[in-house]
Every structure is written in C-alpha cells, then in structure tokens.
Structure 1
C-alpha cells in the first residue's frame, strides 16, 4: 500500500496521453495508484460518488451526528479492526433507528449515511462514526412525512449516548463469549474474563461522547458535508508543509485549545507509523447506509418520501461546485469548450534506463 502511494502519479506507474476533442490540445499525465488510502486519488473518487449520491438527497434539513469510541477501547479496536468496526456500525445504526422510531422522540422510519473515521488531527488512533441523517422520516404506515418537532433539534444526545454505550458493550461481550476477539501483545492482560468484564463495567459507568449538530440546510449543504467526510484519509496533501532533517511538518487543529491551528513536527518513521494506523482491512466498507437509505429498499423509500414532500430528484449539476464539475467533465484547460480524452497509454519498461524508455499503446479508435 505505501509502495503504491509513494509512486502515485510518477513515471514509475506510467503515463497517459490526453487529447482535447475540440482543439486537439494534448497533455501527458502520470497514472495514479487508485489506492483508497491515497490522499491524491480520493478527490476524483469523491466527486464521482457525490454525483451518484445526489439522487438520494431530500429537500429537508439534515442532522450531523458523531459517535465516538472511548479511548480505552481504541487498542482493542486497532487489533480487531474488521470485527470491532462492524460492531460499531451496528451499534450506531440500531441506536439511531430505534430512538427515531420511538413515538416519544420522532416516531418515524429514518435513513442514515454513516462514515467511519479512525483518526484525530494529530493522526492518533481515534475511532468514530460521522452520520448524516435527514431530520425527519416516514410514518410507519407510509402515510406521511414526519418532520422533527423542534427547529434546530433532531434527537436527544444523552439518550443516543446511553443506548449507543449499552449496545456496543453488549456486542463486545457477545463477541468475547464467541471467541471472536483477539488479544495480542499488551492486550493479553484483557484476555481473561475477569479483566475483560472489569473493563466493560468501568466503561458502562462513564458517559460516552455523542455530538449532534443542529439540522442544517438542504442538498447543497449536504454535499459539502459529504465531500468533507466520506472520502477523506488520515491527512490531506494540503496539510503537509514539508520534510526536513528526517522530520515531517504538517498543520493540525488542537481541539483541546479551541481548535487553534498550529504546526506539528514528527519523526518521519513515527509519521508513517501513525498514518498506517488508519489503513483499513482489505474489502472493508467504510461508508454504509441504513434504514430508508439501505440499498435493498432505497429507491422505493425515497420515491415515497419525495411523493409526500412534493419534491423531485435533485439535479447533480446544480449541486456541485464549478471545480467539481470541471474535474468530472475533464474540460480542456486551453479552449474551455472541449473535453480531454485518453488516447494512448505509456508504461515504463523494466528495468528503467536513465533515459526512461516508454512503450506507448494507442487506444483503438473504434
């Protein structure tokens, strides 16, 4: 993975020739690694995903809810990523759907888009889920759309926090009984029933952090949030300032001091170690949909929601920024009218010579 990211958009991965279909302008670009943990490759993947998701947006306010795992569980999560993060998704989704279904709170079926993040601004391991939820839902008899009862309020944070705590601890206890968790290295002391259940008991007596922002605007605001949270990796290229004398400098926001922006220096090896903490298991899905937005019933549920809201499907072209539109359309930088198309592929021959001999394979025009 690091090898791919290190060679991304360099001659080592080859190049391709792009030509404008209007003015015949040509440019040569390096190929990308397309690794989902690569900061360079995620912007285009994000924009394509945003266009696809635009059809699922509703013209209603959206709530942004963040569920954070206590730091005492972070080492267990890191050594059991696939199992722990799956339980985290399950605990969060069941919490939101169950509390929203309660007539005392909303009394409706809601939809949830959940995104896993595992990092803090200083790249330490900090598992949490960002959830974007329409501030309302369908009545259980599908007769109407039910909006939140109070402006600027979605669901009670304390109720969310305590149910989330109970569910995740219960799921972990069940996984322990089934021997689905491993305890390597320093975690070995938790492998005994007494130590493990003592940890869960201590965490049950603590308040867990669940943060809910007041519901914000419609589809255009939602897309901005999606762009910010869905395809991010541990650190973006824009935060990297440089490397000198074996130390990496990058910008970060200190949440303990009112999000004050400052510069952090880390030894290059430590920087790489922290980055690797956030590499997910192969094939693990970090963006998931639940409730009305679940894949099995999304189309029918959204059609019914729009019927009650008297809304139409959002046009992606009206929701994306000009920069996103340009990136997706591959518009020509010279004439601004045509579109760039790949007309030839070039790959570096092994072993590479000092002059970098290229082998080009032109695409069949048919």
Structure 2
C-alpha cells in the first residue's frame, strides 16, 4: 500500500489534480497559477525545504576546531536482499551494529566518548538494493579517564605521520561491525522476526542458513573511514553531502539521459572500488525495470532515515 500511495502522489505532483494557488505581480498585476506539490519525501520534486531544515539543524551541532570523519558501513548483498521484506528489522540491525562497532572501537583505541550523526542509504548507482549507513563522527570527545577533551591520534607504533588524520584502525572497525551484525541477524531469525521469501526463501532451511552465515563471516565486510580531505574541510561539508539523500528518492533528474515508454537511460558508476568510482557510464533499463528498482527504496513512514546518537562532539539540537 505504501508503494501505491507514493506512486500515486508523485505522479500527480504539481498538477491540477492537487489544486493550486494564484500569485499576482505587484507591478503589472499579472496572475500566475502554481500547482501544489505532493509533499512526499520520496518525490524528486519535493522536500527541498525539509532537506534545508535538516542541513541547518545538523550544521548547528558541529563544533569548531574538531575534525569530522565520514564512516560508511555496508551490509552484504544477501542481507540487503532480506531487507526488502524486513525493512525496519534490517534498518535497526544496521544502525545498531554500526553504532556499537564505532563506540567499542573508538573507546578501546582512543579512550573518549563517541558521538555520531547517521543517515541510511538503501541503493547503489544502479538502483539495486544496497543497504548502508553513513556516519558523521567527530575525531574528539570527553576522555573516558578524566573527562578532559581528547583528540584521536594514530598509535605511535603504526608509523603514521604526526599530521595524518586518524580515527581508528579500519580493519578492527569492520570486523567488529561484522561480528555484531551477524549476532543480531542470528537473533532475528531465532526469534522468528525475519520474513524469508522470494530469492532468499531457501534460507528457511537450517543448513542453508548456516552455510550463508559461514560465507558472510569468512568475508571482509565493506566499511571505510574517510578523513577530512583538506585542512579547510569541516563537518558541514559532509552534512551537505548527506542531506542530498534524505529525501527525493534514489536518483536525481540530472543523471537521467533519456526516457520514454520503453527504456530509461541514466548515468551510473560501475565497479567495485570501496567508496565508489568516479567514472560514470550510461546504463539502460526497461522502463518497467527502472520503476521496479526505484520502488525498492520506498520506505514505510515509520522508518526514519537519519538520527543523532549521543551528543559528545556535537552541540545540542536547538
């Protein structure tokens, strides 16, 4: 029902079906009618005001003089596929596991209280199901030892330059994320909270499930840490980047090259480089397949796509 409602509203957005308002020029008295927007958060034409509001409020949380890192945690493809029928459960798994892994690793290696601003993405450039979370993380916080302000530093034995930006060991972080996420996934299945249908129906079998768990535990999961790219970079830069994905759906108009009743062609990055590749190539899908992939990323209203966890390293939301 959510998908049908979103498609109906976005189809009618800014048409006469939703009514409109008349505006009159003060100088020439000319009348102009503007049709109403649908207001749905998935609509590419709407929610610019909501994005600006989030950006403004999130930017007020940023502290001057603190380095902020973008940390990305990605679920394996098989769990992203499960998410299509278990959106709230897998979203909770992703946020919970990313936060717990960050908190544990930062507190162990840097000994300060952690904070994070986290935003959910569910797509890749080809509009496939690709669940991951972006976290904006301060490289400083109150010491767990004496409460003094503490900045993250590379361990002396690692041989890093003193000026290099460093949060935590990336390998330790991604392995902690994997361990916590797998344990959470196991609990969901044990408690009967996972719907395993369609292409993952085979996982109802205990043997197939155990094999899948062995496979994902044996692989390195994708998570990476992006330090500030330049000395002048600030947390606001990452906030603006994340804001673009809060509403409006998984693709913007400027990436669409051509579209008709039969096909849609759009720009998409391809490849498997961690963090994505900059080169884009044209990708053509049937119109039906394009709509199907777009609909994969329609979320229920109760599923929030962003949240602030803890407040150390961020100002209070005003």
Q: TM-score, normalised by structure 2?
A: 0.85
CA deviations on 1:300-353 (whole Å, 9 max, x unpaired) are x737xxxxxxxxx99xxxxxxxxxxxxxxxxxxxxxxxxxxxxxxxxxxxxxxx
Cα distance, 1:245 vs. partner? 5.1
1:273 and 2:285 aligned: no
Cα distance, 1:173 vs. partner? 0.6
- Choose which of 149, 163, 177 in structure 1 pairs with 2:153: 149
1:169 and 2:185 aligned: no
Q: Please tell me whether the aligned partners of residues 153 and 215 of structure 1 are also in contact (alpha carbons under 8 angstroms).
A: no
Unaligned regions of 5+ residues in structure 1, if any? 304-312, 315-366
Cα distance, 1:3 vs. partner? 1.0
SS at match of 1:222: helix
- RMSD across aligned C-alpha pairs, in angstroms? 2.5
- In structure 1, the partner of 2:111 is 107
- In structure 1, the partner of 2:34 is 29
CA deviations on 1:190-209 (whole Å, 9 max, x unpaired) are 11222212211221111111
Q: Please tell me whether the aligned partners of residues 16 and 30 of structure 1 are also in contact (alpha carbons under 8 angstroms).
A: yes
CA deviations on 1:261-294 (whole Å, 9 max, x unpaired) are 222211111000000111112311110111226x
The 5 Å alignment of 1:123-142 reads: 123-140=127-144
Q: Please tell me whether the aligned partners of residues 266 and 284 of structure 2 are also in contact (alpha carbons under 8 angstroms).
A: yes
1:96 and 2:115 aligned: no
- In structure 1, the partner of 2:280 is 261
In 2, Cα distance between the equivalents of 1:212 and 1:243? Answer: 37
1:211 and 2:224 aligned: yes
Cα distance, 1:106 vs. partner? 1.1
CA deviations on 1:55-86 (whole Å, 9 max, x unpaired) are 21111221001111111222212221111111
In 2, Cα distance between the equivalents of 1:19 and 1:141? Answer: 64
Q: Please tell me whether the aligned partners of residues 64 and 214 of structure 1 are also in contact (alpha carbons under 8 angstroms).
A: yes
In 1, Cα distance between the equivalents of 2:284 and 2:174? Answer: 35
1:250 and 2:266 aligned: yes
Q: Please tell me whether the aligned partners of residues 267 and 283 of structure 2 are also in contact (alpha carbons under 8 angstroms).
A: yes
Cα distance, 1:119 vs. partner? 0.6
SS at match of 1:65: strand
CA deviations on 1:156-197 (whole Å, 9 max, x unpaired) are 110111000000100011111111111123322211222212
Cα distance, 1:141 vs. partner? 6.0
- Choose which of 37, 43, 47 in structure 2 pairs with 1:42: 47
SS at match of 2:211: helix
1:226 and 2:242 aligned: yes
In 2, Cα distance between the equivalents of 1:215 and 1:231? Answer: 25
Q: TM-score, normalised by structure 1?
A: 0.75
Q: Please tell me whether the aligned partners of residues 135 and 215 of structure 1 are also in contact (alpha carbons under 8 angstroms).
A: no
User: Residue 147 and residue 21 in structure 1: after superposition, are their counterparts in 2 closer, same or farther (change >3 A)?
Assistant: farther
- In structure 1, the partner of 2:191 is 178
Count residues with an aligned counterpart. Answer: 297
- In structure 2, the partner of 1:241 is 257
Cα distance, 1:20 vs. partner? 7.5
User: Residue 292 and residue 195 in structure 1: after superposition, are their counterparts in 2 closer, same or farther (change >3 A)?
Assistant: same
Cα distance, 1:97 vs. partner? 1.1
Unaligned regions of 5+ residues in structure 2, if any? 1-5, 155-163
